[in-house]
Amino acid sequence: MSEFKRNTSDPDTSRRGFLRGGALAVGGAVGGMAAALSARAMAGEPSELITQVQEWNQIPGDGVDAAPYGVPSEFEADVVRRSVPWLTADPISSVNFTPLHALDGIITPNGLCFERHHGGVAQIAPADHRLMIHGLVDNPLVFTMEDLQRFPRENRMYFLECAANSGMEWRGAQLNGCQFTHGMIHNVMYTGVPLKLLLQEAGVKPNAAWLLAEGADASAMTRSIPLEKALDDCLVAFKMNGEALRPEQGYPVRLVVPGWEGNMWIKWLRRIEIGDQPWHQREETSKYTDLLANGQARRFTWEMDVKSVITNPSPQAPIAHGRGHAVLSGLAWSGHGRVKRVDVSIDGGRNWQTAQLDPMRMPKSLRRFYHAFEWDGTELYLQSRAIDEFGHVQPTKTELRSARGENSIYHNNGIQTWQVRGSGEVENVEIS
Amino acid sequence: MSKSLNLVLLLAGLCVSAPAQAQDADAGQKIFKKCKACHAVGDGARNKVGPHLNGIFGRVAGGGADYKYSKAMVQAGDDGLIWDVDTLAAYLEKPKAYIKGTKMSFAGLRKDKDVANVTAYLQSFSMTSSKPEAEPSGSSQSSDEVVAVATTEPVSQLMRATHGQYHLGRIALPEEILAWDIDVRPDGMGLPDGRGNVARGGELYDEQCAVCHGAFGEGEGRWPVLAGGQGTLKDERPEKTIGSYWPYLSTVFDYVHRAMPFGNAQSLSNDDVYALTAYLLYLNDIVSDEEFELSKENFNAIRLPNEGNFVADSRPDELHYTAQIEPCMQDCKPQPAEVIMRARVLDVTPQGQEGETTGAIE
C-alpha cells in the first residue's frame, strides 16, 4: 500500500516533475549547492553536517514494521519507471521504462522492471490459475500452481529485453535518456521449473517441432516457439529475485525464454500447445517482424544481439562533480551467451579502451562495466562497444542502417553516443 | 485448502476411470470391515496397526502416512511402486506374494469383485478428505452417477495420474482443451465451423471496431491502421496493414477471435469473426463483393498479397557480423567527431508534437 502511494504521489511522473528533476541535477553540475559546499570546505570552513547535531542524530526514527513491505528511501522518489505517452494509443496496451541511469550492479529491482502489456495487468489468484499442455503429446495435462511447485526447480539470472528496445532511435537520436533509449530491459533471478520437465511429463510426440505459448490476460498473448529452444533452456518461472512474480510481470507464472525477445516470455502463462508447424500469430507476423529497406521483412528474429549502453553519465545522470577523476559505468549483454569484453571511447569512437568488467558473468544476463578516466572539463562523446563470447561485435548504427534501412523498429543494437558538455550536461546525439 | 479438496461427492462417482468391471464403493465399505481392525480411513483417520488409508491412491508405496512401514514396502516404493487401481488390486489379492516381507498379515481377497469394490471405496478417500457422511441422503446409489458440488475441478481430478515421471498434474479433458484451444494456423488448422459475409461484418465493424480503427480501417490516433498502405513498404513511412503487410488471413481470424474488441475480448461468435474477417478483406480490396461470404470451407482459398515478402532471420549474414575483424582500438576515425543529429525530443512527454515523432512502438 505504501509503495502504491509512493508511486502515485511521485511528482516526477509528471512532465513538469521530470523537467524539474533534470534541472536540479544539472544545476548541481553547473555550480549549485554541491559545488558551493565543497568550496567552503576547501576554504577551511567546517561542515555543519559534521559540527551540528542533526535531527536524525537525536530523535529516533520509525520502529520495526513501519513498512511491513519495505520501500525505498524517500530521497529515491525519482527512481521510478517512466512512460512516453505518445508512443502508444492507450496505457492498457503500452510500455514503460526501467530507470537504468539510477541503478548499479546487474539486478533490476522488481518494482523497477519495465512493463509491457497488450491487454493490461491480469490479476489472477494462484488457486484459480491453470496451465494446460496439449496438442502433440501422449497425455494432455492440466497443472495447478501447487503441481508446478512440486517439480524440480532451478534458479537462473537472465535479461529480458523487448525487441523494440531502442526502436525509437532507428531514424536518429530522439529520446534523451538511457531510461527511454535502452530501458526496455531488466535482469532478474528467476526461480522456476525447466519447461523440458513439464513437456516430458506430458510426453512429446515424435513429430512435434513447435509450441505455442499463451497468456491468460485479456490480450491472450501467443507466440510460436521452436521445440528445440523449449527443451534447451526455457523456464516456467513463479519467482523473480526471490519473491513471487509481480502482477505486471505475469503473476503467478510466466515463461522465461533466455536471450530471446521479451514478447516471447509469455506472462500469466496458461497454455502450451505442441504442434508440428509455427502458428504465425499476430505478434510474429504483423508485429515483431523486421521490415527491411527492400520491402521484405524478416520473421522469427528471436535472439537479442550483443549490445551495451553507458548508463552513467547519461542525459538523466549528468556529471555533477566537475572536472577530475570520473568513473563511467554501463551495462552489456548478449542473447547468444556471455559478454566477453566491452570497449569504451570518450572521443566518439576514434580511440577505444577496454573497460573493467565486473566478475559476475552469467550467459544471457546483464554484465556491468566500469571505466575510470580523468575529465579535464572538455566535451566528450561517450560510446561503448560490447563483444560476446562468440565474437559478435556490437555494430554501429550506421552499419545497421546500411544493412536494414530505418524501418525495422526491432533489434536496434547499435552503438549509442552521449555528448558530455563542459557543464556536465549529457545529450543523446549521433555523430559523424 | 484448494477447492478440489472441498469436494462433496457421491462415493460411487469416484470410479469414473476404473476398468470395465463395475465397482460398488458401497459394497466395498462392507468388505472394508475386514480391514478395519488394522486400517482406518475417512475423516480423522489415524494409523493403527496399519497405516491410515486416506489418500492411498497415488501414494508411493511405503510412504505418505507417517507410518513405520516394513523394509520391503519401503523398498517397493523406492523401486517405483505407486498405488493405483491395478497395483492395489494385485496387492489385495495376494499381499505376501506381491510384497514379500510386508507387515500386513491379511491373507488376501479372493474375489475380484471384492477387490474392485474395496478399491473403489478406498479411492473415495483419495485426493479428498471428504467424510463418508457427506454422501447426500436419499440420492441414487447407482454406481455410475456422479454428483460434484462446490468445485471448479472435474471429478477426473480425483483419479491419480500415472503419466510422466512425477505424476503431477492431471489429464486435461476434451471440453477443457476445446474451451482454450482457439488458435488458427495458416493451413486452416483450428478454424471453427461458421460463416459470415461482408455486409454483416460491416455492421459489426461500425458498432464495435470503427471507434478505434476508423470508419475505413484508417486508424484513429495511434490505434492500428487496418487497411490501405499497399505498395508503401519501401517508402520512408511504410503503412503496415492487413492488406499491405500481414502474410496470412488466419492471423486476422485468430487475433480478432482471441483479443478483439479491445476491452471485451472473446465476446464475438465464430460467425461474427468470419463476418469481420470478410469485411477486413473488403476494406483492403482483396474481395470486392459485399455479398462475399467467408467460411471454414473457403477460408484457405484466400491469400494475402504480402505473403511472399517474409524471409528468414538473416542477421547473422550481415557484414558487420560476418567480417570477424578485430575491432579497431586506435585512430579509428580520421576526423574528430561532429554532432550530426541531436535528440529531437528533449521533453519526453511532448504535447501537440505527434507529427514530429517517429518510430512508435507497435
HEC per residue, chain B = CCHHHHCEECHHHHHCCCCCCCCCHHHHHHHHHHCCCCCCCCCCCCCCCCCCCCCCCCCECCCCCCCCCCHHHHHHHHCCCECCHHHHHHHHHCHHHHCCCCCCCCCCCCCHHHHHHHHHHHHCCCCCCCCHHHCCCCCCCCCCCCCEECCCCCHHHHCCCCCCCCCCCEECCHHHHHHHCCCCCCCCCCCCCCEEEHHHHHHHHHHHCHHHHCCCCCCCCCCCCCCCCCCCCCCCCCCCCCCCCCCCHHHHHHHHHHHCCCCCCCCCCHHHHHHHHHHHHHHCCCCCCCCCEEECCCHHHCCCCCHHHEECCCHHHCHHHHCCCCCCCCCCCCCCCCEEEECCECCCCCCCCHHHCCCCCC
Q: Are residues B234 and B92 in the same domain?
A: no
- Looking at the 3D structure of chain B, how many domains does it have? 2
Distance CA B344, CA B358 (A): 10
Q: Residues A430, A418: contact at Cβ < 8 Å?
A: no
Q: Residues A236, A271: contact at Cβ < 8 Å?
A: no
Q: Are residues B147 and B228 in the same domain?
A: no
Distance CA B82, CA B92 (A): 14
Q: Which residue of B has its CA nearest to A19?
A: B347
Interface probe for B, chosen from A350, A387, A417 (most Cβ of B below 10 Å), is: A350
Q: What is the pLDDT of residue B123?
A: 83
pLDDT digits (tens, 9 = 90+) for A29-83: 334 445 555 555 667 899 999 999 999 999 999 999 999 999 999 999 999 999 9
Residues of B in contact with A396 (CB under 8 A): 320
> Which residues, in sequence order, are CB contacts of B284 under 8 Å at separation 6+?
B217, B226, B227, B228, B230, B241, B242, B243, B244
Number of neighbours of residue A298 by Cβ within 10 angstroms: 19
Burial group, residue B316, by CB count within 10 angstroms (0-12, 13-18, 19+):
exposed
Query: Of B96 and B131, which is predicted with more confidence?
Result: B96
Distance CA A307, CA A348 (A): 17
Would you call A252 an interface residue with chain B, using a CB distance cutoff of 8 Å? no
Query: Of B328 and A87, which is predicted with more confidence?
Result: B328
The distance of Cα B188 from the centroid of its chain, to the nearest Å, equals: 20
Residues of A in contact with B255 (CB under 8 A): 281-282, 286
Q: What is the pLDDT of residue A152?
A: 98
Q: Are residues B203 and B167 in the same domain?
A: no
Q: What is the pLDDT of residue A40?
A: 59
Contact A15 B245 (CB under 8 A): no
Contact B341 A429 (CB under 8 A): yes
Distance from CA of A55 to the nearest CA of B (A): 38
Q: Is residue B172 domain-resident?
A: yes
> Which residues, in sequence order, are CB contacts of B43 under 8 Å at separation 6+?
B129, B130, B131, B132
> Which residues, in sequence order, are CB contacts of A178 under 8 Å at separation 6+?
A100, A101, A309, A310, A311, A314, A315, A316, A416
Determine the average pLDDT of the residues in B65-85. Answer: 84
Query: CA dist A193 to A200, A205, A235, B9, Å?
Result: 12, 21, 5, 33
Q: Are residues B201 and B120 in the same domain?
A: no
Q: Are residues B113 and B32 in the same domain?
A: yes
Q: Residues A170, A292: contact at Cβ < 8 Å?
A: no
Q: Are residues B137 and B255 in the same domain?
A: no
Q: Are residues B113 and B19 in the same domain?
A: yes
Distance CA A207, CA A278 (A): 13
Q: What is the pLDDT of residue B357?
A: 43
pLDDT digits (tens, 9 = 90+) for B213-241: 999 999 999 999 999 999 999 999 999 99
The percentage of chain A sitting over the pLDDT mark of 90, rounded to a whole number, equals: 87
Query: CA dist B109 to A42, B35, B55, B210, Å?
Result: 97, 11, 21, 72
Q: CB pairs below 8 Å between A and B: how many? A: 300
Query: Of A103 and B7, which is predicted with more confidence?
Result: A103
Distance CA B78, CA A46 (A): 75
Q: Residue B11 above 90 pLDDT?
A: no
Closest to A79 (Cα-Cα) out of A105, A109, A99: A99
Fold of A126-298: Sulfite Oxidase; Chain A, domain 2 (3.90.420)
Q: Residue B126 above 80 pLDDT?
A: no
Distance CA A408, CA A288 (A): 9
Please name the residues between 61 and 120 in chain A that touch chain B, using a CB distance below 8 Å.
82, 84-90, 92-95, 118-119
> Which residues, in sequence order, are CB contacts of B323 under 8 Å at separation 6+?
none
Interface probe for A, chosen from B315, B324, B331, B344 (most Cβ of A below 10 Å), is: B315
Grid cell in block for residue A401: 542502417
Largest separation between any pair of C-alpha atoms in chain B: 98
Q: Is residue B362 domain-resident?
A: no
Q: What is the pLDDT of residue B32?
A: 85
Contact B234 A349 (CB under 8 A): no
Contact B321 A428 (CB under 8 A): no
Q: Residue A400 above 90 pLDDT?
A: yes
Q: Residues B168, B26: contact at Cβ < 8 Å?
A: no
Distance from CA of A73 to the nearest CA of B (A): 26
Determine the average pLDDT of the residues in A174-203. Answer: 97
What are the residue ranges of helices labelled H in A76-234? 145-148, 178-182, 195-202, 227-232
> Which residues, in sequence order, are CB contacts of B291 under 8 Å at separation 6+?
B197, B198, B199
> Among the listed ranges A200-209, B19-28, B36-45, B138-147, which one has the minimum average pLDDT value?
B138-147
Instruction: For residue B293, list its beta bridge partners.
Output: B197
User: What is the CATH code for A307-429?
Assistant: 2.60.40.650
pLDDT digits (tens, 9 = 90+) for B336-353: 999 999 986 555 543 333
Determine the average pLDDT of the residues in A105-129. Answer: 97
Q: Is residue B25 domain-resident?
A: yes
Last residue of a domain, one of B131, B149, B177: B177
Closest to B80 (Cα-Cα) out of B15, B164, B157: B164
Determine the average pLDDT of the residues in B192-209. Answer: 98
Q: Is residue B244 domain-resident?
A: yes
CATH number, position B250: 1.10.760.10
pLDDT digits (tens, 9 = 90+) for B38-73: 888 888 788 877 888 888 887 888 887 778 888 888
Terminal alpha carbon distance of chain B:
43
Contact B339 A349 (CB under 8 A): no
Last residue of a domain, one of B291, B309, B327: B309
pLDDT band (50, 70, 90) for residue B127? low
How high is the mean pLDDT of chain B? 81
Interface probe for B, chosen from A13, A15, A86, A222 (most Cβ of B below 10 Å), is: A86
Please name the residues between 141 and 180 in chain A that touch chain B, using a CB distance below 8 Å.
141-144, 146-148, 150-151, 164, 167-177, 180
* ipTM score of complex: 0.89
Q: What is the pLDDT of residue B345?
A: 58
Q: Domain spans of chain A? A: 2-80, 126-298, 307-429
Q: Are residues B111 and B22 in the same domain?
A: yes
Q: What is the pLDDT of residue A168?
A: 93
Q: Is residue B190 domain-resident?
A: no
Query: CA dist B332 to A325, A418, B155, B337, Å?
Result: 25, 18, 72, 11
Mean pLDDT highest for which of A106-110, B66-70, B323-327? Answer: A106-110
Largest separation between any pair of C-alpha atoms in chain A: 80
β-strand pairing of A353-354 with A417-420:
unpaired
Determine the average pLDDT of the residues in A387-413. Answer: 97
pLDDT digits (tens, 9 = 90+) for A238-274: 999 999 999 999 999 999 999 999 999 999 999 999 9
Residues of A in contact with B349 (CB under 8 A): 15, 18, 84-86
Q: Are residues B151 and B239 in the same domain?
A: no
Distance CA B41, CA B28 (A): 12
Q: Which residue of A has its CA nearest to B310?
A: A297
> Among the listed ranges A173-187, B95-109, B121-135, which one has the minimum average pLDDT value?
B121-135
Distance from CA of A84 to the nearest CA of B (A): 6
Q: Are residues B277 and B173 in the same domain?
A: no
Q: Which residue of B has its CA nearest to A170?
A: B359
Least CB–CB distance from B312: residue in A218, A298, A399: A298
Contact B172 A134 (CB under 8 A): yes
Q: Residues B9, B128: contact at Cβ < 8 Å?
A: yes
How high is the mean pLDDT of chain A? 92
Q: Are residues B38 and B153 in the same domain?
A: yes
Contact B360 A87 (CB under 8 A): yes
pLDDT band (50, 70, 90) for residue B79? confident
Q: Are residues B139 and B218 in the same domain?
A: no
Half-sphere CA count of A383, side-chain side, radius 13 A: 24
Mean pLDDT highest for which of B9-23, B41-55, B130-144? Answer: B41-55
Least CB–CB distance from A177: residue in B344, B348, B354: B348
Contact A88 B361 (CB under 8 A): yes
Least CB–CB distance from B222: residue in A89, A174, A197: A89
DSSP state letter for A299: -
Determine the average pLDDT of the residues in B199-212. Answer: 97
Q: What is the pLDDT of residue A31?
A: 41
Contact B309 A296 (CB under 8 A): yes
Query: Of A382 and B36, which is predicted with more confidence?
Result: A382
In terms of residue numbers, what domain contains B35?
A: 3-177
Q: Residue A308 above 70 pLDDT?
A: yes
pLDDT band (50, 70, 90) for residue B37? confident
Indicate the residue type of B291: E
Contact B258 A220 (CB under 8 A): yes
β-strand pairing of A141-143 with B170-171:
antiparallel
Would you call A387 an interface residue with chain B, using a CB distance cutoff of 8 Å? yes
Last residue of a domain, one of B261, B285, B309: B309
Least CB–CB distance from A119: residue in B161, B236, B259: B259
Contact B348 A180 (CB under 8 A): yes
Place of cell 522518489: A77
Grid cell in block for residue A356: 573493467
Q: What is the pLDDT of residue B115?
A: 87
Distance from CA of B33 to the nearest CA of A (A): 34
Would you call A234 an interface residue with chain B, using a CB distance cutoff of 8 Å? no
Q: What is the pLDDT of residue B5?
A: 36
Query: Of B244 and B27, which is predicted with more confidence?
Result: B244
